[in-house]
Chain A
Amino acid sequence: MELTARDIVKGFGDRVVLRGLSLSVREGDVYVLVGPNGSGKTTLMNILASATRPDSGRVMLDQEVVAARRAEYRRKVGFLSHSSMLYSHLTARENLFFFGGLYGVSELASRVDIMLEQVGLRTDGDELVRNFSRGMVQRLSIARAFLHNPRILLLDEPYSGLDQAAVSMLTGILKKFSLHKRIVVLTSHNLEAGLEVATRGGILFGHRISHEPEGKPGRGFVNEYLSLIGKKKHGAD
């Protein structure tokens, strides 16, 4: 299984966000995408998730254009975006039952219990989401994204709002998940946590992937990223 983005161009009004971006992620990869604010990480994730259409270019799964078989593709995708996609007047359990029902998850009750346990919300399952803290909402969003056991996982800033224990929890889940021949793409400002699970990485800068080392990203990747951020800062100044 291979997820490919080819020659993606996307702009909003006069502002170009992505220009000719190409990316390829194979099963078993945990691809960590980093980049300064406004570099287009979220836009790219939305395009990969088929939530946003690119102005040109295409996303393909195993050489099949995703836009042509969107419903089938979405069944395979678990997507965590900046919005929680959770109903605040439903309980955590009701939210998971609702989305699990839409995805046709089998043995849903036990699956919901497992996910609540995994994200550390087992005792809070019957609480309304509106009473949750930011971190708890993020944990539940992670549970929602994993609920239907997707083959492709797209996580936009998954570590945002999480405490250290929850960061370790997510890292553990992702490591287990990647062993099962899945595709994971995640964006993160938390370089330490992101690179711990990464098998590949890329820096989004100048509207495209500007640096993409072979294999697991290491110290050189971090240095390159810090130098690009420095350049951007000086440019802005």
Chain B
Amino acid sequence: MPFLKTIYLIIKKDFISEVRTLESVAATVVLALVILVICGFAFGPVFGDLEKVAAGIIWIAIAFSGTLGLSRMFGAERENGCFLGLVMSPANKGAVYLAKVITVLALLLTVEVIVLPAFAVLFDYPVFRSFWPTTLCFLLGSIGFAAVGTMMATVSSGAKRQEMLLSVILFPLMVPVLISAVRSTGQLMAGSSLADVANWVRMLVVCDMIFLVSSFIMYDLVIEE
């Protein structure tokens, strides 16, 4: 079974299911917007040091809603024992992992496309002072989240209290990615250049590589358990 065909088949299947139900996207976007609105009432556009907390608010919205999205996605995969069907197939399990990472990443990017403009409007704050560097940092942070999140959602998806367990095991591992993402996007939104945040970007790239490669290698073992 060619590696790329497995990835294509799983992404296509997830896309068709999601378009029909909007189960993960709707829940994720709504939660992200609710978090923004609550923070909007708490801080508001008149808050003096908004540039210090802007990136934190955005990444809280992305991380919390993304966790819910992960739960929904993998919950749907467990329904009717479908995940067992994937495990039992001769498909390369690394390909299964990458397909799931791409699906989760697509979900996160969809959320960000909605959340970032919403944040700019609610807080009257220029999110994209430097468009491409900021986009790059959000993309790198999201890749890190998807890489760890997919692995941890697989680990927790067989558990009885899946959503609680996912949060407990996901966020400690996410700390380096979240810190780097918050720092880099925060400084870029405050007007710094890409060169100013180069160390944080490097950190994001390294974290993404470590999480992607180690999870890709270990996924076969995890999925079998």
Give the B-binding residues of A (Cβ under 8 A).
49-51, 53, 71-72, 74-75, 77, 79, 81-90, 94, 98-99, 101-104, 128, 144
Give the A-binding residues of B (Cβ under 8 A).
1, 5-6, 9, 13, 16-17, 20-21, 76, 79-82, 84-91, 224
Contact in complex: B84, A83 (CB < 8 Å): yes
Instruction: Provide the bound-state CA to CA distance between A103 and B1, in Å.
Output: 7
Instruction: Provide the bound-state CA to CA distance between A81 and B88, in Å.
Output: 11
Contact in complex: A98, B13 (CB < 8 Å): yes
Q: Which 10 A-B pairs give the minimum distances between C-beta atoms?
A: A83-B81, A85-B85, A102-B89, A75-B90, A89-B17, A101-B9, A102-B91, A104-B1, A84-B80, A85-B81
Given contacts A87-B13, A102-B9, A103-B1, contact A74 B80 (CB under 8 A): no
Contact in complex: B85, A99 (CB < 8 Å): yes
Q: Chain B contacts of A94 at CB under 8 A?
A: 13, 16
Contact in complex: B89, A81 (CB < 8 Å): no
Contact in complex: B21, A51 (CB < 8 Å): no
Q: Chain A contacts of B76 at CB under 8 A?
A: 89
Contact in complex: B82, A85 (CB < 8 Å): yes
Instruction: Provide the bound-state CA to CA distance between A17 and B87, in Å.
Output: 23
Q: Chain A contacts of B87 at CB under 8 A?
A: 51
Q: Chain B contacts of A71 at CB under 8 A?
A: 90
Q: Chain B contacts of A87 at CB under 8 A?
A: 13, 17, 80, 82
From B16, B20, B89, B224, A103 is in contact (CB under 8 Å) with B89
Closest A residue, CB atoms, query B85: A85
Query: Helix, strand, loop or mixed for chain A's interface?
Result: loop
Q: Chain B contacts of A81 at CB under 8 A?
A: 81, 84
Contact in complex: B20, A89 (CB < 8 Å): yes
Could you pull out 25 A-B pairs where Cβ atoms are within 8 angstroms?
Answer: A51-B84, A51-B88, A53-B224, A72-B90, A74-B88, A74-B89, A74-B90, A75-B90, A79-B88, A85-B81, A85-B84, A85-B85, A86-B80, A86-B85, A89-B17, A89-B20, A89-B76, A90-B13, A94-B13, A99-B85, A99-B89, A102-B1, A102-B90, A104-B1, A104-B90
Shortest CB–CB separation between residue A168 and chain B, in angstroms?
Answer: 26
Shortest CB–CB separation between residue B73 and chain A, in angstroms?
Answer: 12
From A72, A85, A128, B80 is in contact (CB under 8 Å) with A85
Contact in complex: B80, A103 (CB < 8 Å): no
Instruction: Provide the bound-state CA to CA distance between A71 and B13, in Å.
Output: 22
Apart from A51-B84, A85-B81, A103-B1, what 15 extra A-B contacts exist at CB < 8 Å?
A: A53-B224, A74-B88, A81-B84, A83-B81, A83-B84, A84-B80, A86-B80, A86-B85, A87-B82, A89-B21, A98-B9, A101-B9, A102-B6, A104-B90, A128-B20
Q: Chain A contacts of B89 at CB under 8 A?
A: 74, 99, 102-103
Instruction: Provide the bound-state CA to CA distance between A84 and B79, in Å.
Output: 9
Closest B residue, CB atoms, query A141: B80
Shortest CB–CB separation between residue B3 and chain A, in angstroms?
Answer: 12
Instruction: Provide the bound-state CA to CA distance between A86 and B5, in Å.
Output: 20
Shortest CB–CB separation between residue B89 and chain A, in angstroms?
Answer: 4
Contact in complex: B16, A90 (CB < 8 Å): yes
Closest B residue, CB atoms, query A83: B81
Q: Chain A contacts of B5 at CB under 8 A?
A: 101
Contact in complex: A84, B81 (CB < 8 Å): yes
Q: Chain A contacts of B16 at CB under 8 A?
A: 89-90, 94
Instruction: Provide the bound-state CA to CA distance between A98 and B9, in Å.
Output: 6
Q: Chain B contacts of A77 at CB under 8 A?
A: 88
Q: Chain A contacts of B21 at CB under 8 A?
A: 89
Shortest CB–CB separation between residue B14 and chain A, in angstroms?
Answer: 9
Q: Chain A contacts of B80 at CB under 8 A?
A: 83-88
